[in-house]
Every structure is written in structure tokens, then in C-alpha cells.
């Protein structure tokens, strides 16, 4: 291994170390309590060093958001065991909600927080790769459902967006604390119960 290679590897390792510490702090304390100083402290480096490896706080959180999409992708792998597209679609929604409820802050980072999108704006990216890839997975399943005779009279892309919107809405209202305080009869199961109603709707298609 050449000297340059060793140096590049070390840089990558430190970058990974920063992300590891950031993720830990983020999951433990949320995005606002994850400060550059906290991160620097956690890895025993100075503030300035963090800025050598990441342009700013948004860049760190964009990298974390990318890791979360990879994590969700791993959990989605079991879906390929399901041959019936309709069953796959239903299971996908269930897994999506499960991930959101198990990892509310990570979900928030992926689908609500501004940091990752601001990073894309700053870097003049006109595509959100993680979003595009995920939506493509969903659209493909819906497409298969349509080809299997479901969703007559529906349009592929708007229908896919509706399905995404439904599961996202159920999760988002819960995570953003809009179900707490509404005096629901079963607040603890409202997200799962809501999804059950969605499945009933789909069953009639």
C-alpha cells in the first residue's frame, strides 16, 4: 500500500468516525443537541477538524440520512421472498411503518428534517438519489400490482405517491406529536390501526 493510499484510508476512517459519533449523538439526543462541539468532543478532535471532513452540519446530516436509507433498504430485502405483488406492497408499508416507529429520529431525518435537502440545495444537486431510488422501488411494486389486475382505473405515479403519502402521513403525525393530545381512544395503536384500515381499502381494489 502506497503512502497516498494509507493517507486516503486514514481520511476515510476519520470521516467514518465522525459519522459514527454523530449518529450516536443524533439518535440519543436529537438533531439540535448534536452540536459540532459535541461531535468533536466525542471523537477527541477539535471543532476545526470536523470542518475539514465535512463542509458544514448539513453535510454531516445528509451523510447520516444516506446511511439510514441503506439501513431501511436492508430491512426491505425480505420483501423479495413475496411473489404476490399485492402482498409485497402491503408488507412494504408495514416494514416502512415499523422502521419509522422503531427509529423516529432517523425517520424524521429521512423524510422531514430540512438538513439533508438543504445540503442538496447547497451542492446544486437537482436529484435526491435516495428518494428517487426508494420511490422507484415502490412504483415498481405498484406497477406489478396493476399488471396483476389491481387498481383498475388508477394512474401509476400518482397512485404510488398516494400510497407513500398515506404511510408517511400516519408516521409523521405520530412522530411530530400530533396524535398525543388529541384524546384518541387507542393512542398507542393508532398508527397500526390506521394502516389496517388502509389495507382494508386496498383489499377492495
Segment contacting DNA (CB under 7 A): 6-14, 97-105, 142-150, 173-181? 6-14
Which grid cell sits at 90?
402491503
Answer with the entry of DNA, a copy of itself, none that 58 interacts with (C-beta below 5 to 8 A by kind).
DNA
Answer with the entry of DNA, a copy of itself, none that 167 interacts with (C-beta below 5 to 8 A by kind).
a copy of itself
Answer with the entry of DNA, a copy of itself, none that 16 interacts with (C-beta below 5 to 8 A by kind).
none
Q: For 66, how many CA atoms within 13 A lie in the half-sphere containing its CB? A: 13
76 lies in the binding site for DNA (CB under 7 A):
no
Give CA 63 to chain center in angstroms.
12
- Which one among 33, 121, 123, 189 touches DNA, defined by CB under 7 A? 33
Residue with cell 381494489: 205
Residue with cell 423516529: 104
- Which one among 41, 42, 49, 117 touches DNA, defined by CB under 7 A? 49
Tell me which residues touch a copy of itself (CB under 8 A).
111-112, 114, 117, 120, 125-128, 131-132, 135, 153-155, 157-159, 161-162, 164-170, 172-173, 176-186, 190, 193-198, 200-201, 204-205
CB-based burial of residue 28 (10 Å sphere; 0-12 exposed, 13-18 middle, 19+ buried)?
exposed
**Is the CB of 45 or the CB of 135 nearer to a copy of itself?**
135
In order of 8, 9, 13, 14, 79, the CA distances from 3 in angstroms are 9, 10, 15, 17, 44
Residues 6+ apart with CB under 8 A from 146: 154, 156
- Which one among 16, 24, 28, 37 touches DNA, defined by CB under 7 A? 37
In terms of Cα–Cα distance, which of 129, 138, 173 is closest to 159?
138
- Which one among 20, 27, 35, 131 touches DNA, defined by CB under 7 A? 35
Cβ(88)–Cβ(141) under 8 Å? Answer: yes
SS3 state of residue 46: coil
Segment contacting DNA (CB under 7 A): 44-52, 89-97, 148-156, 189-197? 44-52
Answer with the entry of DNA, a copy of itself, none that 166 interacts with (C-beta below 5 to 8 A by kind).
a copy of itself
7 lies in the binding site for DNA (CB under 7 A):
yes
**Is the CB of 50 or the CB of 145 nearer to DNA?**
50
Amino acid at each position: 500500500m502506497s503512502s497516498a493510499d494509507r493517507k486516503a484510508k486514514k481520511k476515510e476512517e476519520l470521516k467514518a468516525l465522525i459519522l459514527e459519533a454523530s449518529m450516536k449523538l443524533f439518535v440519543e439526543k436529537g438533531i439540535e443537541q448534536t452540536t459540532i462541539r459535541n461531535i468533536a468532543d466525542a471523537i477527541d478532535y477539535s471543532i476545526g477538524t470536523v470542518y475539514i471532513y465535512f463542509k458544514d452540519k448539513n453535510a454531516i446530516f445528509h451523510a447520516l440520512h444516506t446511511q439510514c436509507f441503506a439501513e431501511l433498504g436492508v430491512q426491505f430485502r425480505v420483501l423479495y421472498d413475496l411473489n404476490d405483488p399485492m402482498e409485497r406492497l402491503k408488507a412494504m408499508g408495514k416494514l416502512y411503518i415499523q422502521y419509522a416507529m422503531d427509529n423516529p429520529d432517523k425517520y424524521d431525518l429521512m423524510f422531514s428534517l430540512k438538513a439533508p435537502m438543504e445540503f442538496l440545495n447547497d451542492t446544486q444537486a437537482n436529484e435526491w438519489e435516495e428518494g428517487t431510488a426508494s420511490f422507484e422501488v415502490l412504483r415498481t411494486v405498484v406497477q406489478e400490482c396493476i399488471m396483476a389486475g389491481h387498481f383498475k382505473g388508477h394512474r401509476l405515479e400518482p397512485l404510488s405517491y398516494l400510497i407513500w403519502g398515506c404511510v408517511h402521513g400516519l408516521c409523521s403525525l405520530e412522530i411530530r406529536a400530533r396524535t398525543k393530545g388529541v384524546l384518541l381512544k387507542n393512542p398507542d395503536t393508532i398508527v397500526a390501526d390506521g394502516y389496517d384500515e388502509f389495507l382494508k381499502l386496498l383489499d377492495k381494489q
